[in-house]
Chains A and B, each alone.
Chain A
Amino acid sequence: MISFSRVDTSILGRWWWTVDRWLLASLLLIIAVGAILTLAASPPVAARLHLGTYHFALRQFSYLPLALTVMIGISLFSPIMIRRLATVAFIGFLILTASTLFLGSEIKGAARWISFAGLTLQPSEFLKPTFAVVAAWMFSEWRKDTNFPGHFVAVGLYVVVAGLLVAQPDFGMTAVISAVWGIQFFIAGLPVFFVVLVAFVFLTGSMVAYTFVDHVKSRVDRFLDPTSGDNYQITRSLEAFQNGGLFGTGPGEGEIKNVLPDAHTDFIFAVAGEEFGLIACLIIIGLFATVVLRGFARMFREDNLFVLLAVGGLVTQFGLQAVINMASTTHLMPTKGMTLPFISYGGSSLVSLALGMGMLLALTRRRAGGDL
């Protein structure tokens, strides 16, 4: 371990003494768990696609140094720098996201990806954390009683972002961004009347979607009544958990990765459950919960409204995404194509999460009260 003297006032020295080390350790452990599970889950998927055994694992590992550099590098920033970075990045990725509508590559029926220099990038992944920070800034400006109409700006930005995502179409991403934005607005003090209104609109919207959108109806029906149709993935996933039991079948001994196309992405938690057992599942859940807990603990001690809201947004996004993935995999809710942060395969997702968690680490560093 590198050691830093408390009187060390270099950038790294100050970082080491101010960063939330519980948070940092949890994130690093989650990344390590992800590397192990990618090694376990991806070879059969690669074999099915006639790729090399470690095709996915090697690609994922090649992104790890970049992700770690981004996360640690950004965590060195001050909150004011974070705000600037997020704003610039948000605008840049918003433009890129908009451009996917015209020049994106289509994968699995949705145009979300942009290719350049041999790399494919999903710009909307990077919108998630940067938008959370920008929205936090706007809400905090609104509350600070200046004449700046931050909440209207936030609503306007939200409409643009959500519109772009729906156009792709990417309903999963839209749902996460909406939830995060809504929770930030709620924490910032959305009048109760509007909270009730939003809840009402949400419920009505759900009913309308269920009634008129066929695939929504079929997903909900299949969730409520597993015998009503195609539940192959979820059934296999549940079998995997049962098969795993307390201690798991052992690394490489699981079956689910052989039979599910998405074993290395959406259903990686089931691979963990099967091969490493209940104890590993509880450890993974515990790690995600630690990140959320540390984030909220910070929110109750935070004086700065922007930081408070930004931390709330980033933590909510991270926690919500993890919970949705794990809840889908364990059949607690209808399946939704959501990745498990830092664990599911995917380069864009990994780097964008590193960006988000880097910002979270930066914002949760101890500062003199109220400083930015």
Chain B
Amino acid sequence: MADDALTITPWRRKFVAICLIALPVVVAGRALVLQTERSDKLTNAGHDRYTRQFDLQARRGMIFDRNNEPLAVSARVYHVFADPGVLQWADEKHAGNESENKSKVAQILGLTVAELDNMIANSTSPRYTVVARQVRPAQWAAIRELSRAQGVRGFGVEHKERRYYPAAEVMSPVLGFTDVDGKGIAGLEQTVNTALSGQSGKVVQIAIGSRDTKVFEPVHMSKARKDGENLGLTIDLRLQHVAYRELKKHALRHKAQSASLVAVDVSTGEVLSMATWPADNPNDPEMKTKGVIVNRPALTTFEPGSTIKPFTILNALESGVYNANTMVKTSPGILRVDEFKVRDTKNYGDLTLEGILQKSSNVGAAKIAIALGPEAVWSMLDRFGFGKSSGLNLPFESAGRLRDWNNWYRADLMAAGYGYGLSVTLLQLANGYAGLANGGVSTPPLLVKGALRSPRRAVADPKLSAQVVQMMRSVVVEGGTGTRAAVLGYSVAGKTGTSLKQINGEYRTGVYQSLFAGVIPATQPKLAIAVLVDEPASGEYYGGLVAAPVFSSFATEAMRLLNVTPDLPEQIEQMREKEREALEALEEEPGNE
């Protein structure tokens, strides 16, 4: 028994031994390769069979106006996808209904059968192809019903949102809009996209059990969603509606290219209205490809022309060289500086500072500018925020242009005195007037409640600023250029402006921009309002004729809506008296029964 092992040959043992020892060596080699090489080719193939992942889309924050009127809201919609891997048009019980069910599905989704077939056939992924976007809940419910009743299988949805803008084109230039994926791509939607978006979460589930008994369990890689913040704007939707209506009416009346208005609360810097016409409706699906939405008040720059003169006058007073009674000689109504000529519409003779504003004398403003020197003129405009970003950070917002005074020629200095050679936005102009009316305290504008902004700064003497505001009242009364800006019951201080429009750096004859900027009530300023009517083509183009009436219509309604007490109640009384007399006169006439 002892040597029975010799009855077998040892080579067989050796063979088996070598094989069994070689195998672990191979495994060790494999481990060595796997764990020392870095490669991406092994990632993600076939995960979907064992895990599935759902994105939890965060709800986009809503946008409200200052009185909590909704301006942008999100509604639940679905992106419907097909899974060609499990697609089935009817279960066994309803075999034969396949083509009927398919046409029903296509109809629900607003597609033709051919389009549906095409999308499924051309799917780039074997398990997923989106067949319809932004499908309403009722449509998806109808498909679910088909699936219950007929066994239609292979459709799923991704939860998405669709953005609606109740105020449509009235607010669209300010708000901008979102793309199909809900990302802000214009206006405030873009500026504050991060806060509005929140953070999406995800549920990762893993399959447990065999193919037939598979159940899904969430694993710890899941993440809760964080909804976006709601935003409140300083805009008053009521004023915005009035502004849009008046801009549209007057722009059409004067056959203008566009018209814009900005209204700023004088004491807080809050933008109560920022409107422009024309604008398209962002709720219209075609708008995103073809439409025009330009927030002109913040984007478009223009030469402010005469509307800059109040700052020139304030500068004159601050210098100490001029006072309210100083007479400036403007005759003969033309001033030559180097090869440059400055003209007034007529020879106004000697004018006080108030007279320069009232008559809008270019010669007077130019003479003051030359007397003050470039540094002083530049500094005044700079302090009131011209040539600098407003801080609202709107997409493509312009800072305007105010060149460094070191590079000014004498002609530039003189032009700056009456608003040429620099460009501003309407927002800057309204904000500059607000600073003037607020006792020379410049407050950065505010559009989103609670947003951070730079501190307000006292940039001019309060008494002198108030004095300039009072001088500006003369513009709107008999003998001024802006009488049509008057508002019954309220004092208005303002300035007209009519500038030749530069197109590609050249002034074109007969192409104007009509301006009016002012504050109301002038005795205790509440609003600073700037109006621009671009390229009026009706034959009238003076700011006092084209832009001032927009100011008047808007301000009249704004005072009522904001419950501002009339500071000139006697005007209303007089008006009523006149009406009564006229009525009595009419009733006394015979034959009018």
Contacts and interface: CB of A to CB of B under 8 A. Distances in A.
A168 to B, nearest CB: 15
A239 B43 contact: yes
Given A187-B16, A259-B206, A323-B23, A235 B34 contact: no
B35 A316 contact: no
B1 A292 contact: no
A281 B24 CA distance: 11
A342 interface: no
Contacts of B3: 303, 370
A143 B4 contact: yes
Interface in A274-313: 277-278, 281-282, 285-286, 288-289, 292-293, 296, 299-300, 302-305, 308, 312
A315 B21 CA distance: 11
B38 interface: yes
A34 interface: no
Interface stretch (B44-52, B108-116, B149-157, B510-518): B44-52
B12 interface: yes
B31 A330 contact: yes
B17 A143 contact: no
Given A109-B210, A273-B34, A285-B28, A292 B20 contact: yes
B35 A303 contact: no
Nearest to B28: A285
Contacts of A372: 1
Interface stretch (A54-62, A125-133, A242-250): A242-250
B26 interface: yes
Interface residues of B, number: 50
A106 to B, nearest CB: 11
Interface stretch (B181-189, B214-222, B359-367): B214-222
B208 interface: yes
B36 A246 contact: yes
Nearest to A369: B2
A303 B5 contact: yes
Contacts, number: 175
B125 to A, nearest CB: 13
Contact of B208 (A48, A312, A323): A48
B5 A305 contact: yes
B207 A244 contact: no
Nearest to B221: A258
B86 to A, nearest CB: 14
Contact of B28 (A235, A259, A282, A320): A282
Contacts of A308: 5, 8, 13
A235 B47 contact: yes
Given A48-B217, A278-B36, A108 B210 contact: yes
B27 interface: yes
* Range for the number of chain A residues in contact with chain B: 35 or more
Contacts of A242: 34-35, 37-39, 42
Nearest to A302: B5
Contacts of B210: 108-109
A229 interface: yes
B30 interface: yes
B1 A370 contact: yes
Nearest to A272: B31
Nearest to A320: B20
B325 interface: no
B452 interface: no
A303 B20 contact: no
Interface in A129-156: 140, 143-145
B504 interface: no
B138 interface: no
A227 B42 contact: no
A292 B7 contact: no
A315 B17 CA distance: 10
A207 B30 CA distance: 27
A289 B207 CA distance: 35
B20 A296 contact: yes
B10 interface: yes
B32 interface: yes
Interface of B: 1-10, 12-13, 16-17, 20-21, 23-28, 30-32, 34-39, 42-47, 49-51, 206-210, 212, 217, 219-221
Interface of A: 44, 48-49, 108-109, 140, 143-145, 183, 186-189, 226-227, 229-233, 235-236, 238-239, 241-242, 244-246, 258-259, 261, 273, 277-278, 281-282, 285-286, 288-289, 292-293, 296, 299-300, 302-305, 308, 312, 315-316, 319-320, 322-323, 326-327, 330-332, 369-370, 372
27 contacts: A48-B219, A144-B4, A183-B16, A187-B8, A187-B12, A226-B45, A230-B50, A231-B45, A232-B47, A232-B51, A238-B42, A246-B36, A258-B221, A261-B208, A261-B209, A273-B31, A281-B28, A281-B35, A296-B21, A299-B13, A300-B13, A303-B2, A304-B1, A316-B16, A323-B24, A330-B27, A370-B2
